[in-house]
Each structure stands twice: as C-alpha cells, then as structure tokens.
Amino acid sequence: MPFETLPPMIGEAMTERGYTDLTPVQAAVIEDEAQGRDLIVSAQTGSGKTVAFGLVMADALLAETANLTLTEAPLMLVIAPTRELALQVSRELGWLYAKAGLRIATCVGGMDASKERRALRAGPAIVVGTPGRLRDHLERGALDLSGLLGVVLDEADEMLDMGFREDLEEILDATPETRRTLLFSATMPRPIVRLAERYQQDALRLSLVGEDRGHGDISYKAITVSPAEIENAVVNLLRFHEAETAILFCATRDNVRRFHATLQERGFGVVALSGEHSQSERNQALQALRDRRARVCVATDVAARGIDLPTLSLVIHVEVPRDAETLQHRSGRTGRAGKKGTAAIIVPFNRRRRVEGMLRGARIEAEWMDAPTPEMIRKRDRSRLIDLLTAETDFDEYDRDLANELMAKRSPEDIAAALVQSYRSKMPEPEELMPNTPEARDKAKADRHRPGFEDVAWFKIGVGRRQNAEPRWILPLLCRRGHITRNEIGAIRVGQFETWFQVPTAIAPKFAAAVARTASAEDEQDAIVIEEAPEGPRVEARQNRRDRGGHSGAHDGPRVRPKPFGKGPRKGPAGSKKPGAPFKKGPKPTGKKFAGKRKPGGKQGK
C-alpha cells in the first residue's frame, strides 16, 4: 500500500482522491527527522504543498481528537495571503480529514464575519484564514489560539510582500510556545528567514526546488514585440495555443480592465480578477473558468494567488514581472500535478536586457522567439480541425439520418466546407504583426512621430530634474513665453539641469523672437533662460560625464550648476499667483559645490 506510513483514514482519503503516491514535498514532511520539529519548506507552487499541511500534523491532530467530536479551541491554524488560496486550502483539508470528522472553519475577508464567529464557536479543529481577518477575530475574542498544536504559514514570502508582517506577528505572539511553526513557500527570501529565526526553534530546512528554480513542467517562451503591439501579440498567442484555460497577468487594475475589454471585443470568452472585484464576482469568474464558459482570465498578481485550475496550461506575462520570485509565482499557476504548461513573457524591445537578467537570476532557460503570425495560427487551426473531425466518434441514428438528408441536397464538399466555416466563425481572427527586424523597428519609431514634426529645431530651457521640472508646468510656460500653442511643441526631454524640446523649423524664428521679447528679470518664470540648442539633448550625456569627473572629448571648463529651486512646483511659490511656477531661486551660481547651505533634495537649510 503506497500510504502505509500514514494514518489509515488519511491513506483511504488520498486513495479515493486518486493519489497513487506521495509527491516529494509530502514525503519529506513525514520523514522521521521531520517528526515533531518546526519546518521551513521551500517547494514549487503546484507541488502538493496544501496536502502536505494536513499530513505533517495528521498524527497529532488525530491523537488529540480520537475521543472528541468537538474541540474547545482550534488545534491547527493555517494562514494564507489571499481569500482564494485560503478557500483552496480549506477544501483540500476538508476531503483529507473527512473520514476523521474534523471540523474546519474558514475566516477570510469579504465573507460574513458573524457567520465566521459562529463557526469558530462550534469547535473546529482546524482554522484557515487570511492574516487581516484572523487578527480581527483574535482582537474581538472570537479566536482562541491557546490550544494550538501547530501553525502553518502558506506563501509566507507573499504575505510579507503584501504588508501583513504586523498581522502575522500579533497572531504568532498569541500562540503557545509549545506549538510547531511550519513555513511553506515557493521562495525563501531574507525576511522569511528572519521571521523563522524569531518564531521557530531548531527548525529543519527542506528545500525541494532543485538547482533549477524554474518549474520542470513549464516551458518558458520569451516573446519579443514592439511596445505598440503587445495587445496583438497576446491575441495571437491565445489563438496559437488555444489553451483549455489561460491566464494573463497584468500589473495594475487599469490594465486588467483594458485587456478584459479588448479580448471580449475580439470574441474571447474572458473573465477578470483584480482587487476591485467583490468576493461574489471573483467566485463567479472562477466558476465560469471551471465550467468552460470562459477560457481566459485576466488578473493582477495578488488576485490570482491561490487559483487552482486543473485545465490551466498557458500563462502569459502581459507585463514583465517585477522580479524572479514574481515570475515564478505567476508561472506556477500552470504545470501542476505533473501536467505540462507554457509560460510566455511578452518582452518589449526596450526591456529585453532586463528580462535576460531576470531569467539568469532565476536559472530559467527560455526560448526567445517572435509572436505567432497569422500564417502560423491558420496552419495550427487546420491541423486541429482535421484532428477534431477525423477522430473516432459514435453517431446515433438521428445524426446519420440528418447526414443522409444533407447529402441528398448538397455535395460532400459543400457540407464539409460549411462545417469548416462554422468552426472558423467561432474563433477570433489573428492579428497582423510588424516584422521583428531592425528595419521594421526603425520604421515603427519613425511612424510614431507626430505629423508636422518631421523637420524640427531643438531648444532648451534652463531648468531640469534638479529644479523639479515637469512637462505639465513647462508646457504652459513655453506657450506663454513663445506665443505658440501646445500642438506646436513636439517632444520634451527633461534632463538633470536643462529641459530640451522641439519646435517645427518653420516657426522656430518666430518662437525665438517671442521668447526674447518676453524675458524679464521681474518674474522668476520669465527670467528662466530659453535658447536654441542645435545639437539637441545629446550634448547632455557628455556634459553629465564631465560633471562626474569623466571625459567626453575636449575639455571646455568646469560645469556651472544652477541651484535647485526647492521642494517642487506643485503648488507654486509663496506669494505667487502663477500655478506651476518653480520655487524661489537661490543665490547666483558660483561654479563651486554647495557646502552646508542646502540639504539633499533641494530643501533650504536653516
């Protein structure tokens, strides 16, 4: 029997669930050296960690509840970062301990707190919840942790990233010193190690991630695209793979809304998950994915934590993950339970080096490729359709009678063509993409130029980032000083000490003359120098190197740095009615470094 080392009721439950053997993480937590000890378990997402929670505490829980139907206080506490993950853990522990009759209470945000308090009073042996809701019940006296035998922190690194440190510390401080503390996570950064040092004793470290941090069942693809064609690349990836279930990761709620609307408009069955959705809406979205009414989910990182969809085979990182851990957590939604999955990273041309460094740091081998073309997608569609229509199928008499009637009216070719047309009409059309060549990229940059700015003259204004320069207040200033409109100002480049901007060559003389006429020492904005700069902003890089002590050709003397205006232009200077004006100027520049007169950041010293 594969589960002979487990309590009989647990082994029977796993057999009925379809388990034939323990996963590596499940086997590791019940080894002799792990018995009764605190554990730090680093294992991949989708490796069976949830069931491992129940196995590690099985002997102690069953021994304590052997002659009891109810418990005075919970014996085991599981803390998870999100509602979905907590509900998933509760479901898994529910079937695992069903034969033992143990009650499980779930406490998560977005649910009825009064019902949760009644469930806690009913004597559950196991409590599963999110940090904020558990802390709330603890402070209200509804949650008694005095009898805990063990506490599990699932995805502990994510909880710290989400700002739950104080909640976790308050909860752990309320538990008995004799309890076991078990930390489970796909990654173990330094904050987790410090947490373990504070709340664990003689902890055993179990690392089951292997030398390659990438998931062995996930194929990584890095898709290089123009920044303007990210949406089209996503559409083509979805059409090329035709995954039973796919998830798209975005960084913000706004992007989730935008991609959800875009895919919906193109004919995809799609749902959205983000922090702005209620628990009821999230449950409906997940149920639509499980029922196959939707095949694509657009989500933020936090909203997708805890999603466990057996049919999920494609993950698309619409926006580049912020670090290797986020890449791993996102991608870990697929390739679970021994199934194969694909993780595609959309890489704009200007982000390639960053992604290459991230993949090296994560020790992930990714295949670099272009986005699928319409020709590749149609070839795949053809192969899929032929396989579908030529597969062995049992037909009933009604189907055959209808087929004979159709054959009498139309030719076999017409009937087959109508079937193909019906199949293709349900599929969104692929998008045409720009060729991924240097020439095409250069052409795309040229196409992005605004009409009328093919021939421009560069000017510069004597304020930059050190003076808190921003286009939103520089633009009105240029219009007022130069007697031109906003539409007659092209690109604006904010440098460290100057700001560069474009004006069409045809109106450059008129602009220069107006700027000279409006210059005045009586008003601090009108005193800012605006002058033509034939070389454009390229000279700034050379100037900055000289400031740092480097060399950029012939030396032409020391750089004279203007003093910063102060904290910023958001509310304008005291006593000035001009909104957006820079703050008062300091003393005239001397070319020497300021010594003790001003604090870093431009704030005036006392």
Residue found under tokens 């998008």: 431
Ordered DSSP codes for 63-131: HHTTT-SS-SS-SEEEE-SSHHHHHHHHHHHHHHTTTTT--EEEE-TTS-HHHHHHHHHT--SEEEE-H
Mean pLDDT of all residues belonging to the chain: 80
User: For the chain, what are the domain ranges?
Assistant: 8-207, 218-373, 452-600
d(CA 192, CA 326): 16
Portion of the chain with pLDDT greater than 70, in percent:
81
Q: Are the CB atoms for 581 and 526 separated by under 8 Å?
A: no
pLDDT for position 69: 58
- Give me 170's structure tokens: 């308050």
- Calculated CA dihedral for residues 206, 36, 46, 345, nearest 10 degrees: -40
Per-residue pLDDT of 18-53, as tens digits, reads 888 888 888 888 888 888 889 888 876 667 788 888
DSSP β-bridge partners for residue 530:
461
Q: Is the pLDDT of residue 595 over 80?
A: no
Q: Is the pLDDT of residue 54 over 70?
A: yes
How confident is the model over 464-492, as a mean pLDDT?
87
DSSP state of 598: B
User: Per-residue pLDDT tens for 130-167?
Assistant: 999 999 999 999 999 999 999 999 888 778 767 788 88
At 56-81, the pLDDT tens digits run: 888 888 888 776 656 788 999 999 88
CA distance 329 to 190: 17
Residue 601 and residue 467: Cα distance in Å, rounded?
10
Q: Which residues pair with residue 460 across a beta bridge?
A: 500, 531
Q: Do residues 226 and 348 touch, judged by C-beta distance below 8 A?
A: yes
With bands split at pLDDT 50, 70 and 90, how would you rate the model's confidence at 191?
Answer: confident
Residue given tokens 């936090």 in the structure block: 302
CA distance linking residue 66 with residue 62, whole number of Å: 6
Write out the two tokens for 313. 């085979």
Structure confidence at residue 375 (pLDDT): 93
For residue 175, is pLDDT > 60?
Answer: yes
pLDDT tens-digit series, residues 316-334: 999 998 888 788 878 877 8
Name the nearest CA neighbour of 72 among 145, 174, 161. 145
H-type alpha helices, 291-437: 324-331, 352-362, 374-390, 397-409, 412-425
Residue indicated by tokens 């945000």? 109
Q: Decide if pLDDT at 237 tops 90.
A: yes
> In the numeric block, which tokens belong to residue 34?
């792990």
- Report pLDDT digits (tens) over 295-318: 999 998 776 666 777 788 899 999
Residues 163-194: b if buried by 16+ CB within 10 A, e if exposed: ebeebbeebbebbeeebbbbbbbbbbeeebee
For the stretch 528-580, pLDDT in tens is 999 998 887 765 545 554 444 444 333 333 333 444 444 444 444 444 444 44
Q: Do domains 8-207 and 218-373 have the same CATH topology?
A: yes
Reading the block at residue 480, the tokens are 């007022």
* Residue 441: per-residue pLDDT: 60
Model pLDDT, residue 493: 87
Place of tokens 């006429």: 517
In this prediction, residues 493-517 reach a mean pLDDT of: 90
Give the sign of the dihedral formed by CA 221, CA 222, CA 224, CA 225: positive
Residue 68: predicted pLDDT: 62
pLDDT digit string, tens, across residues 414-453: 888 888 888 888 888 888 887 666 666 665 555 555 666 7
Q: Which two tokens stand for residue 402?
A: 């209808």
Closest CA to 209 of 308, 85, 324, 379: 324
Question: CA nearest 85: which of 6, 156, 175, 25?
Answer: 156
Cα(464)–Cα(603) distance, integer angstroms = 16
Is residue 58 a contact partner of residue 126, using CB atoms and an 8 Å limit?
no
Which of the residue ranges 90-99, 329-338, 396-405 would you say has the lowest mean pLDDT? 329-338
CB count, 10 Å around CB of 411? 10
Q: Look at the block and give the residue holding tokens 């996963």.
A: 23
Q: How many CA atoms lie within 13 A of 321 on its CB side?
A: 26
Strands 499-504 and 456-461: antiparallel
Domain 8-207, CATH homologous superfamily name and number: P-loop containing nucleotide triphosphate hydrolases (3.40.50.300)
CA torsion sign for 470, 471, 472, 474 is positive
The fourth-level CATH superfamily of domain 452-600 is RRM (RNA recognition motif) domain (3.30.70.330)
Quote the tokens at residue 319.
Answer: 């926006």
Taking the complete model, does pTM exceed 0.75, yes or no? Answer: no
The pLDDT value given to residue 20: 83
d(CA 125, CA 62): 10
Distance CA 365, CA 212 (A): 9
pLDDT at 133: 93
pLDDT digits 0-9 by tens, 376-402: 999 999 898 888 888 887 888 888 889
| CB 157, CB 209: distance < 8 Å | no
Q: What is the pLDDT of residues 240-285, one digit of tens each?
A: 999 989 999 998 888 899 999 989 988 899 999 887 887 788 888 8
Superfamily of domain 218-373: P-loop containing nucleotide triphosphate hydrolases (3.40.50.300)
- Reported as a single tens digit per residue, the pLDDT across 11-20 is 888 888 888 8
Residue 215 confidence (pLDDT) = 55
Gap between the Cα atoms of 111 and 97, Å rounded: 24
pLDDT band of residue 508 (cuts 50, 70, 90) is: very high
Which tokens belong to 32?
């002799």
Q: Is pLDDT above 70 for 583?
A: no
Report the percent of the chain where pLDDT is more than 90. 27
Q: Are 184 and 192 in contact (CB under 8 A)?
A: no
| Amino acid (one-letter) located at 159 | M
